[in-house]
Structure 1
Amino acid sequence: MKPQDKERLMLDYRIGVDVGGTNTDAVLMHGRTVICALKRPTTEDVGDGLASAIAALLDSSGIAPSEVVSVMVGTTQFINAFLQRRDLSEVAVVRVSLPRSDGVPPLLAWPDDARRAIGNHVYMAKGGALFTGESYGELDVAELQKIAVDIRAKKIKSVALTSNFAPIRPDVEQKAADIIRSYLTDDAEITLSSDVGGIGLIDRENAAVINASLRGFSRQVIQSMERAFASLGLCASLYISQNDGTLITTATASALPVLTCSAGPTNSIRGAAFLTGLDTALVVDVGGTTTDIGALIGGFPRETSHQNEIGGVRTNFRMPDVLSIPIGGGSLVERTADGVRVGPCSVGYRIREESLVFGGSTLTATDLAVRRYGLDIGDPQRVAHLDEPFVQQAMDRVRRDVEQAIDRMRTNGAALPVILVGGGSVLLPDSLEGASKVVRPPHAGVANAIGAAIAQVSGRTDRLYDFNKLGREAALAQAKLHAITEAVGAGADPKTVEIVDLVELPMTHMSTGAVRVRARAVGTLLGMSTDIDG
């Protein structure tokens, strides 16, 4: 074998990991081949579970740590922390917008428990810009200095800074941040709303505040991952999956953890596309507690076109269009006056202790599937006593609920292929109403980890352009170039970058020629073989 061929093979070894609330799934891949796949229980310290999973992969495959060039990790740890109101930092919320945009103060619509978890530290300051990019007020340096002194006195280490139309004029936030930062301690961190959200002020501000509340915790989680790498002797680059199915560096994830909030469902959708070769389908990911249904369009998850809520807080950062229903392998099954109920409660990660087939005393959806389909899971004899009519009724209920969810995710009446992934996909039959066909790919149980392993790098822009001044073609060219530059800056090989999404949204309520342009560019990670694209 030629030296360059050997080097090429080594470059293709990569590991994908998905750290869920119940299990940590991991795969070792070489080119398009899955060398090894496994599940391990998620641990309280993410690094411990990560180290255990990766060590097992390397041991099973015989691959040396030095042969792995990159590890891609998707995690729900950050979003779960916000949903559960735990491990959150106190946040100073600074809005630079006066004398405008004071009708709806920051945090007004937040749930009380979320507001309490981050404190209620709200500041308003002068300055801002119009949609045209023109300033309508200069920054008041003395005012911002006074705010910064108060933040420091309260010992707050995380700041969320927002201004009007910041995606068009990010320099307003940047200048305000420079003033505030000079009065804070060295370990204080500032989140700029222009880095996380779209045009709308309130929703973008909310996204910035959520991000600021998670920065301290995200740093701890990523440091734990990096310690796990060091303990295994890995010199591979570590990347984190973000909401659109592409990768960001650990430095970016530490600063912008909100970008990873929906990485789990997104990775499952991307993994399903890779495993089946389908680029248009519905993906049904059945976990231990919930079933997530997402749409696959052009090989990537369909993004939601409306505002989304995270833990009761409305935001406008990019998220996949995913519908979740409370049915999973650990769902509790109960007899009721109306027949049977499956979910919404679940034994979750305790399924191996509580489910009947594993020696427990709790009837779960997994027990029903073992009885109904004769699956080789646990001890099937422990569910042999369940009467067939009851089992059939319960499984029909599961199927109907999933079929209704599938119908809600379709944009028209046409039937689409349905890809079943996730460890709980054994609950569903091989035919579903609304599906042109049902596909169960190999390695379906770890599709999320595969999605992480094959992820690419992206760049995007979301700005208003004046078509009357620039002209349509020139404006679109600027948007494309900005997205491509962002992708290359994030680590994409320039030779592989292409525009995969370009949307024009005329601002018809404005008298000028303002048009909102969203562009997204995607490319293969620099140094990685291009034959991994899904």
Structure 2
Amino acid sequence: MLIGIDVGGTTTDAVLVDGSRVEKTAYVPTDHNDLLGCLLNALDELVRGLDVSKIERVVLSTTLITNMIAEKKTDPVTLVLIPGPGTNPRDYNLGQSIILDGAIDFRGKEIDRLNESQIKEAAARIKESGVLRVAVVGKFSQRNPAHEEKVSQIMSQILPGSKIELGHRVSGHLNFPRRAATTKLTLATKESYARFALAISRALEERRITAPVYILKADGGTLPLEGSLQMPVETIFSGPAASIMGVMALTPPGQTSVVVDIGGTTTDLALILSGSPLLSSKGARVDSMLTHVRAFAVRSVAIGGDSAVDVAEDCL
């Protein structure tokens, strides 16, 4: 038996599947201040009277990360950039950042050394600000991470107890501003997501559910709950991804389909072309930032079943 739970803007929907049969469904109102409670209420509705040892897998779709970003409730992060020549990070839509000297070229060769005194001054500024989550991202760090690692080493000594995330560990793809945005969002959401995942694990343990738990990603794939702790931002847009995967399961192979998912809060549109869903060419746009998060190409319109619509007579 499989369990799937999707947290939508208005309701949290859950289903119990045995083979190809839907055995049971549950719908509970979504409380955006208590997403975990919504998930567990839906789960309890499904497993009431069930031998939970028969459950083989639990798959969750959660709006936790999407909501945190949209509502500006992510943890504050200090972004430290090593851009090298030819770029102006102030043109990127990444918020305030600290810029360090030093450069690695596209071959991974150091062409400009780091300035250690500058790094120490930056660490002192960070300590004074009190924002001890630090994302360090260098251009071409995926080719040679030496500068990121050196900055992390120096800052760790000056900022005990700080949490430092390095860009080359988050993404190995080219495109410096996307890697910087992805690193910043990863660090900004990691602690809240970890608390959510821990609560999920404990709740399932209390219910004696030992089946593996997976989180749906923005590209329709899944991550084990434990694996998602390192890259929580991969779980954005998992709701639209669930709709696309559902349409693919219900249509003949190779069919071209337009997916229109009218939810309570938004209407999400996507295209399946000859049986293959379109992907964002370089990565998802999260809020106003471009990222390296692999995702389906989805257009989300802020109108849904709960929206109030007025018709102006002179527009008819």
TM score, norm. by length of structure 1: 0.53
**Runs of 5+ in structure 2 lacking a partner?**
none
2:37 alignment partner AA: D
2:148–2:166 Cα contact (<8 Å) kept: no
| Partner residue of 2:60 out of 69, 73, 80 | 73
1:94–1:125 Cα contact (<8 Å) kept: yes
| Partner residue of 2:305 out of 307, 329, 332 | 329
Q: Describe the shift of the 1:282–1:172 C-alpha distance in structure 2 as closer, same or farther (beyond 3 A).
A: farther
2:149–2:166 Cα contact (<8 Å) kept: no
Q: Does 2:207 match 1:225?
A: no
| Partner residue of 1:109 out of 93, 110, 122 | 93
Task: Give the 5 Å matches for 1:225-244.
Answer: 225-244=200-219
Q: Distance in 2 between matches of 1:251 and 1:175?
A: 29
Q: Describe the shift of the 1:131–1:191 C-alpha distance in structure 2 as closer, same or farther (beyond 3 A).
A: closer
Q: Does 2:220 match 1:245?
A: yes
Q: Deviations over 1:449-500 (max 9, x none)?
A: xxxxxxxxxxxxxxxxxxxxxxxxxxxxxxxxxxxxxxxxxxxxxxxxxxxx
1:162–1:194 Cα contact (<8 Å) kept: no
The CA RMSD over aligned residues, in Å, is 2.8
SS at match of 1:333: coil
Q: How many pairs were matched up?
A: 314
Q: Deviations over 1:385-433 (max 9, x none)?
A: xxxxxxxxxxxxxxxxxxxxxxxxxxxxxxxxxxxxxxxxxxxxxxxxx
Q: Which residue of 1 aligns with 2:268?
A: 292
| Partner residue of 1:92 out of 73, 78, 87 | 78
1:91–1:158 Cα contact (<8 Å) kept: yes
Q: Deviations over 1:127-185 (max 9, x none)?
A: 33222232323444454344334434433232222111233334543454344334433
Structure (1 or 2) with the larger CA radius of gyration: 1
Structure 1 residue 292, shift from structure 2 partner:
1.0
Q: Does 2:152 match 1:163?
A: no
Q: Does 2:35 match 1:50?
A: no
1:259 alignment partner AA: E
2:296 alignment partner AA: P
Q: Describe the shift of the 1:235–1:265 C-alpha distance in structure 2 as closer, same or farther (beyond 3 A).
A: same
Q: Describe the shift of the 1:68–1:149 C-alpha distance in structure 2 as closer, same or farther (beyond 3 A).
A: farther
**Runs of 5+ in structure 1 lacking a partner?**
1-12, 341-534
Q: Distance in 1 between matches of 2:2 and 2:280?
A: 30
* Matched-pair identity in %: 26
1:73 alignment partner AA: L
| Partner residue of 2:129 out of 151, 154, 175 | 154
Q: Describe the shift of the 1:126–1:289 C-alpha distance in structure 2 as closer, same or farther (beyond 3 A).
A: same
2:280 alignment partner AA: T
Structure 1 residue 284, shift from structure 2 partner:
1.5
TM score, norm. by length of structure 2: 0.86
Q: Distance in 1 between matches of 2:16 and 2:103?
A: 49
Structure 1 residue 265, shift from structure 2 partner:
0.6
Q: Distance in 2 between matches of 1:298 and 1:183?
A: 55
Q: Deviations over 1:184-228 (max 9, x none)?
A: 334624252552474121232122222322223222322332232
1:180 alignment partner AA: M
2:258 alignment partner AA: L
Q: Distance in 1 between matches of 2:81 and 2:249?
A: 43
Q: Distance in 1 between matches of 2:127 and 2:282?
A: 37
Q: Distance in 1 between matches of 2:145 and 2:5?
A: 34
Q: Distance in 2 between matches of 1:220 and 1:214?
A: 10
Q: Which residue of 1 aligns with 2:189?
A: 214
SS at match of 2:177: helix
Q: Describe the shift of the 1:50–1:207 C-alpha distance in structure 2 as closer, same or farther (beyond 3 A).
A: same
Q: Distance in 2 between matches of 1:187 and 1:290?
A: 38
1:51–1:232 Cα contact (<8 Å) kept: no
SS at match of 1:332: coil
1:18–1:75 Cα contact (<8 Å) kept: yes
Q: Distance in 2 between matches of 1:218 and 1:25?
A: 21
SS at match of 1:165: coil
Q: Describe the shift of the 1:335–1:282 C-alpha distance in structure 2 as closer, same or farther (beyond 3 A).
A: closer
Q: Describe the shift of the 1:175–1:234 C-alpha distance in structure 2 as closer, same or farther (beyond 3 A).
A: farther
Structure 1 residue 286, shift from structure 2 partner:
1.3
Q: Distance in 1 between matches of 2:272 and 2:313?
A: 39
SS at match of 2:90: coil
SS at match of 1:126: coil
Task: Give the 5 Å matches for 1:448-459.
Answer: none
SS at match of 1:331: coil
Counting helix residues as a fraction of each chain, which structure ranks higher? 1
Q: Distance in 1 between matches of 2:129 and 2:303?
A: 44
Q: Distance in 1 between matches of 2:231 and 2:274?
A: 27
Task: Give the 5 Å matches for 1:375-386.
Answer: none
Structure 1 residue 316, shift from structure 2 partner:
4.3
Structure 1 residue 57, shift from structure 2 partner:
0.9
Q: Deviations over 1:105-127 (max 9, x none)?
A: 37x535xxxx4xxxx4x222233
2:63–2:239 Cα contact (<8 Å) kept: yes
1:109–1:313 Cα contact (<8 Å) kept: yes
Task: Give the 5 Å matches for 1:32-431.
Answer: 32-43=20-31, 44-59=33-48, 62-86=49-73, 88-98=74-84, 100-101=85-86, 103-105=88-90, 108-110=92-94, 115=95, 120=96, 122-170=97-145, 172-186=147-161, 188-192=163-167, 195-196=170-171, 198-280=173-255, 281-297=257-273, 301-305=277-281, 308-338=284-314
